[in-house]
Amino acid sequence: MPAPGFAAIDFGTSNSAIALPADGDGRQGVRLIEVEPGHRTMPTAVFYRADEPGLAFGRAAIAAYVDGLDGRLMRSLKSVLGSPLIEQSTDIGAGRAVKFTDVIAAFLLHLKQRAEAAAGAPLERVVIGRPVYFVDDDPARDALAQAALAAAARRAGFAEVLFQFEPIAAALDHERQVDAEACVLVADIGGGTSDFALVRVGPARRGRIDRRDDILASHGVHVAGTDFDRHVELTAILPLLGHRTLRRARPGEAPREMPSGLYFDLATWHLINTVYAPARVAEARQMREWFADPGQHRRLLRVLQLRLGHALAAAAEQAKIDVATDGQAAIDLADLEPGLAAGLDERRAAQAIESDLERIVEAARETVRLAGLAPTAVDALYFTGGSTGLPSLVGRIGAAFPAARPVRGDRFASVAHGLGVHARAVFGGGA
């Protein structure tokens, strides 16, 4: 009997993709399938209808939210792994709740069904990409995060689940372009984590199943695109709702800043739903006397009452993208107040994410130090992941390794292709 079929899944914080074995050598015998019509990647998003049991995934999930359907949109599912939230339930409306583990299993089942439709056969084995660290500086929680993801994959119907580090998968994809042996620092910077791997690649090394000797070091930090989005929202949007403004001073006291907790949760994808709890809305109402500008308080209450938090987060994400491509962004906030808008330029965006950029660059330096090498030993920098579209980020990493040649990978497909290459090596060449 032929061996059961297999797939490779890039389960990303922002987007996901699937690779299957392909006939012929092609791109190392691997192909990415259309997970949605016309798209090889799909947003890692699930929408639960409040009034019926139906689910929507990817772009359809986001469209359901934008169209105002009653329910709950969940994104950044990967960020929950390794956090206390993973074992908790979350409200989806109409008195219904669902566990985060069930949400992840449902999303993986949807990917499995898409893969099986493309393969025309059942798929029982899978390689799933994982960050170098789900949780920084906590090996026990990191192991629990991987175990939770493996359990979700088995619930989705995969009998055999293997993992590969995402930056190493990207190195395997990059290796197909290499015509001489080189020491490559892979920078895989996506929505949730910034991961690095220093890998020896070359034509003579392709096809080896065991590449452990070629992995000189790996490192990472739990800082990436969704953190950039949060800082953009806190910098450009939420001051219009009172963030970082001064409270009305009591007699004999110096003015103080408004409490920041509500604003930080409002700007964090997997915490946005918590600010809609009746107790927190009541607390926000009671803050009215603190606001020197009553309009800011009205806008804050409108966001909480109409549940516009995810829309603000999406606007911040789009502003980040616009600044990366056009150098500036105009943020339409008419849903909060007619004619209301905010702006963002490269200088303010760079200032907003400065501390994150420095942590990411230091993680790159630490990766090379862990290998016992000098920065000059790096032959090439291979950039992949959606956040490497930010010129300031790429430039800062490049400046730390001035002798290395920068190489741009496919920001959204390199990891999935590399995972497919690894899956083909460990599972065999058949579909």
Mean pLDDT of successive 10-residue stretches along the chain, which has 431 residues:
78 94 69 95 93 88 86 87 84 82 96 96 96 88 94 97 93 88 94 92 81 88 92 97 89 85 92 91 94 95 94 92 89 95 92 94 97 96 90 93 93 92 82 40
pTM: 0.82
Contact 394, 411 (CB under 8 A): no
Contact 246, 260 (CB under 8 A): no
CA pair distance 304, 311, nearest whole angstrom: 12
Condensed to tens digits (0 to 9), the pLDDT of residues 196-238 reads 999 999 988 876 777 778 889 999 998 999 999 999 999 999 9
Domain boundary among the residues 316, 337, 352 is at: 352
Radius of gyration of the chain (CA): 23
Assess whether 265 and 143 both reside in one domain.
Answer: no
Q: Is 41 inside any structural domain? A: yes
Assess whether 253 and 158 both reside in one domain.
Answer: no
| 96-99/71-75 β-pairing | unpaired
CA angle, residues 414, 63, 153, in degrees to nearest 5: 50
DSSP state of 152: H
Residue 312 has which token pair? 């603000």
What pLDDT, on a 0 to 100 scale, did the predictor assign at position 221?
93
CA angle, residues 322, 385, 341, in degrees to nearest 5: 20
What pLDDT, on a 0 to 100 scale, did the predictor assign at position 44?
95
Contact 258, 394 (CB under 8 A): no
Assess whether 173 and 231 both reside in one domain.
Answer: no
Q: Is 187 inside any structural domain? A: no
Assess whether 230 and 173 both reside in one domain.
Answer: no
Assess whether 253 and 327 both reside in one domain.
Answer: yes
Assess whether 19 and 154 both reside in one domain.
Answer: yes
Q: Is 217 inside any structural domain? A: no
| Cβ neighbours of residue 109 closer than 8 Å, sequence gap 6 or more | 155, 156, 157
What pLDDT, on a 0 to 100 scale, did the predictor assign at position 430?
45
Condensed to tens digits (0 to 9), the pLDDT of residues 326-383 reads 889 999 999 999 999 999 998 899 899 999 999 999 999 999 999 999 999 999 999 9
Domain boundary among the residues 352, 378, 399 is at: 352
Q: Is 291 inside any structural domain? A: yes
Assess whether 27 and 133 both reside in one domain.
Answer: yes
Closest CA to 272 of 73, 119, 408, 81: 73
Assess whether 51 and 149 both reside in one domain.
Answer: yes
CA pair distance 324, 189, nearest whole angstrom: 15
Domain boundary among the residues 315, 337, 352 is at: 352
Give 47's strand partners. Answer: 56, 73
Closest CA to 200 of 188, 186, 189, 187: 186
Cα→Cα distances 359→65, 168, 314, 362, 386, Å: 34, 21, 24, 5, 18
Give the domain extent around 27.
5-179+409-427
Assess whether 279 and 135 both reside in one domain.
Answer: no
What pLDDT, on a 0 to 100 scale, did the predictor assign at position 186?
95
Assess whether 143 and 82 both reside in one domain.
Answer: yes
Q: Is 270 inside any structural domain? A: yes
Closest CA to 67 of 311, 244, 268: 311
Domain count across the chain = 2
Q: Is 213 inside any structural domain? A: no
CATH of the domain at 81: 3.30.420.40
Q: Is 186 inside any structural domain? A: no
CA pair distance 102, 53, nearest whole angstrom: 13
Q: Is 401 inside any structural domain? A: no
Assess whether 9 and 138 both reside in one domain.
Answer: yes
Give buried/exposed letters for 272-310 (b at 16+ CB in 10 A, else e). Answer: bbbbbeeebeeebeebeeebeeeebbebbbebbeebbbb
Assess whether 73 and 156 both reside in one domain.
Answer: yes
